[in-house]
Each structure stands twice: as C-alpha cells, then as structure tokens.
Structure 1
Amino acid sequence: MDEVQVVVSHSQRATLRVGDVFLKVDGDPAHAAVEVRAMALAPVPTPRVLWHEPPVLAIAAVRGQALGVLGAPSPASSAAWAAAGAAIRRLHDAPLPPWPGPRLDDLAAELDRECAWLLAHAVLPAEVVRRNRELAETALRPWAPAFVHGDLQITHVFVDGDEVTGVIDWSEAAPGDAMFDLATLTLGHEERLDDLLAGYGPGADRAVIRAWWSLRSLVASRWLIEHGFDPDAPGCELDVLRARMREP
C-alpha cells in the first residue's frame, strides 16, 4: 500500500500524495472550481483531473521534476527554462478566462497594508521596506490583461529533460499582468531570467518584472509567517528584498 505523503498543509488547504494521485483539500470550494476550469482552458500541459467532490480535488501526478525550489539553485537546463518561457507565452496569448482578475486599486491597497505590517512588526529594517515599496510602484500601472497562472512558483512547473510536462496549482488563474507570472517563476532565481525570456520571446518588460519581485515579496511575507513558513530562509522572500538594496 502506498504511504500518504503530506505535500503542504496549513489552515487554508492541504495537499496529500498517495502514489500517483494528489488529493487537494481546500476550505474554499471556489479555489478548486477555478483550478478545474483553468486547466481545461490552458493551452499548456496540466495534470489530469481524476475526480472533484468538494472540498476534495483529485489529480494525477505529472511526469518529470519541478524546475527547482526556492532557496536553492535550479538544476534545470537553460533549454528547460526556455521551454518554460515558451509555454508561458502560449498561456499569455490564449483567450482570457471568463472570470475577473485582480484590480489595480486592490493591489495598491494590499501593498500599503503589508508594508505597514512589516514595519510595525520590525520584520525588516525600515529602509529595506521603503526601498522595495518604491521599486514596487513600477508594477502598479495599467496592463493589458493576459491569461495568467497567478501563482507560477518554480515548484509549479515540471520538466522532463528539456520538455515541459506539466504546470500545476491553478487556483489563482485569472486575467492579469503577464509580467507577474514571469516574476513569480524567477523569484529568487533572477539569474535564470535570460533563459526564461529566450523562450518567452518579445514583449517582456524587465523593469516591471523586477518591480514584481519586490511587490510579491512584500505582500507574501506576512502570510508565510502566519502560516508556518519561513520567508527568511536563504534565497527566499526576505533575501529577495534585501538583495534589491544592492541595486542602483
């Protein structure tokens, strides 16, 4: 009998693996509903949905390995990163999903709240928060909406050799800023941005991608801390914010 492996667990959701089946249990049934719809629409490899009985979604494992993990160098080849870029471009060029995405005003308000929390709890020196808040402003501009994954962490893109075999965890998919996906995938792996963009093609804005590195790290840190994760681990969000201080 296959053992049950806890992939991730916190107060909002848990993911279990049993053999080649992943069971995702979510307190908000809307997340799984979006995930199922998004995977059906996305023009990139996605896991096969086995069954969906709220609050549980069962999906099949995808072949290959993740591009990497946050906090460690990616073992994937330059060609694999380029293939990921080409897959993301297909997604961004696809017709928009028929549900709303994030609003610019809401993102700006969230950034204000999270920066205030980081300062109030002395998570980082005030100058680090201030500088990254300034850098993040570049991302807060109107964008032409694209079909975005919305949570395109490096652990969510699987490759086998130089081939993308699956993109997982679609519960945040929506119309949104294409540069956000590119920034999320390269967060903490900035040295792989050239490889990614070689496959993605024209139209990427490096300044906006860099701004999203700051913005995402600022707004994610409190959630990570409150849910038992460590954004201060080497190479993770707080390191990303500190690294911005070394840039001109």
Structure 2
Amino acid sequence: MDEVEVVVAHSERATLRVGDVFLKVDADRARLDAEVEVMSLAPVPVPEVLWYRPPVLALAALPGTTLGRLGGPAAGSPAGWAAAGAAIRALHDAPLPPRLGRAGRSTDVLAAELEDECGQLVAEGVLPAALVDRGRRVAEAALRPWPEAFTHGDLQIAHVFVDGDRVTGVIDWSEAGRGDALYDLATFALGHEEYLGDLLAGYGTGVDLDVIRGWWALRSLLAVRWLAGHGFDPFAPGCEVDVLKSLGK
C-alpha cells in the first residue's frame, strides 16, 4: 500500500502525495478555481488533472526530475537549464490570462510592503540593519515599470521538471497570472546564480541582470519572516538570508 507523503503543508494550503497522485488541498476556493483555469491556458506541459472536488485538486505525477531546490545542489546539464529557459519564454510570450498574478503587484504596493518588512526585520532583530539596508538598495532595481506577461508567479526551481533537454511539466500554478516576466526568471534562478547564463541561453534577450538581482533581494526580504513563521528555514545554507549576503559581494 502506498504511503501518504506530506510534500508541503502550512496554514494556507497543503500538498500530499499518494503513489503517483498528488492531492492539493486549499481552503481558498477562488484560488483553486483560478489555478485550474490558468493551467488550461498555459502553453507549457502541466500535470494531468485527475479530478477536482474543492477543496481538493488531484494531479498526476510528472515524469522527469527537477533541476534542484533552493538551499540544495542544482543538477542537470546546460541543455536542461536552457530548455527550462525556453519553456519560460514560451509562457511569457503567450496570450495574457484574465487575472493578475503574484508577479503583477504594482510597484507602489511592493514598495510599501518592502518598507514595512524591512522595518520589521530590523525592529525584531531578525536580520542586521546593514544587511537589510544593503538588500533594500539592491531591491529598488525591481521597482520599475514592466510590460505584462503570462507569469507563473511562484516559479521555484523545484516546480519545473525536465528529462534531459526537454521540459516535462510545470507544477503549482496558484500564483499565476499577468505579471513581470523577470520575477519568474529571478525566482527560478534564486540561489543558483551560477546557472543563470545557461537559463538565459534558452530564454533569449531582453533580460536586465540588475532587475534580476533586485528581485532576488526583494523576494528574499519579503519572505524571511513569513518562512520562519510557517515552518521553513530561510537561514539554511543557500537559502534567502545567504542570497541577501551574496548580493553585497
């Protein structure tokens, strides 16, 4: 009999694996409805929807493997990274979905979130003030006008599966919608800067590296306290705090 594996679980949602079936549980019906809809519009391989009975979405497992995870070693060939880049470009060039995604928050909203979060990080003694100030200056590069694209919104490296030089699927579309394409690229390469060149070889032109670094800083600063409060460790080697430290070198 297959065992139940808890893939991820926190107060907002949980994902379980039973054999070759993934069960995604989300108390937010509208978010789960939107995820199913946007998966049907994505021009890249996605998991097969086996059934959908809110609050549970059942998905088939994907073939292939991921290129790694944040805080762990990256894997795959340059061709695999380039294939991921090409798939991300295909997504960004697709017709826009109807809803705004996580990568589509306005610069005013992001700037306000950044100011508040940086203040909290320092006031609570979570991070040194010098590290926060340095990261905040780097993050400002991401706060600029951007053309809308079809974005995934949470394109962590662990959410893209490849087999050699072929992308076999992209998972976890709950944050997808219209947004800034460079947010996706930065999220995918977070903590694995050494593979950014291979990723961009497949993605193509039009990438401002200062903006990528800005998103690394912004995403990390906004995530540290949330992660620590939901059972994750942003201080683990290679994770968000190490990313912030690397941006000052």
What range describes the TM-score normalised by the shorter chain of this pair?
Answer: over 0.9
Q: Which amino acid is the alignment partner of residue 166 of structure 2? A: E
Question: Structure 1: which 4+ aligned runs deviate by more than 4 Å?
Answer: none
TM-score, normalised via structure 2 length: 0.97
Query: How many residues of Structure 1 are paired with residues of Structure 2 in the alignment?
Result: 246
Report the secondary structure of 2:231's partner residue.
Answer: coil
RMSD value, Cα: 0.9
Gaps of 5+ in 2: none
1:199 aligns to 2:199 (yes or no): no
Q: Which residue of 2 aligns with 1:128?
A: 131
Q: Which residue of 2 aligns with 1:30?
A: 30
Q: State whether residues 32 and 174 of structure 2, in contact with CA within 8 Å, keep that contact through their aligned partners in structure 1.
A: yes
1:152 aligns to 2:155 (yes or no): yes
1:5-20 equivalences under 5 Å are: 5-20=5-20
- Picking from 98, 113, 117, the partner of 1:114 is 117
Report the secondary structure of 1:146's partner residue.
Answer: strand
Question: 2 CA distance for matches of 1:30 and 1:133?
Answer: 33
Deviations, residues 88-132 of structure 1 (Å, cap 9, x unaligned): 000000011011242222111111121111111111110110011
Question: 2 CA distance for matches of 1:133 and 1:209?
Answer: 14
Q: Which residue of 2 aligns with 1:52?
A: 52
1:93 aligns to 2:93 (yes or no): yes
Deviation (angstroms), 1:23? 0.3
Question: 2 CA distance for matches of 1:175 and 1:218?
Answer: 23
Question: 1 CA distance for matches of 2:32 and 2:149?
Answer: 21
Report the secondary structure of 2:196's partner residue.
Answer: helix
TM-score, normalised via structure 1 length: 0.97
Deviation (angstroms), 1:185? 0.3
Seq. identity, %? 68
Deviation (angstroms), 1:30? 2.1
Q: Which amino acid is the alignment partner of residue 130 of structure 1? A: D
Deviations, residues 177-219 of structure 1 (Å, cap 9, x unaligned): 1000000000000111000000001111111011100000000
Q: State whether residues 44 and 91 of structure 2, in contact with CA within 8 Å, keep that contact through their aligned partners in structure 1.
A: yes
Gaps of 5+ in 1: none
1:167 aligns to 2:189 (yes or no): no
Q: Which residue of 1 aligns with 2:187?
A: 184
Q: Which amino acid is the alignment partner of residue 8 of structure 1? A: V
Question: 1 CA distance for matches of 2:189 and 2:70?
Answer: 9
Deviation (angstroms), 1:6? 0.6
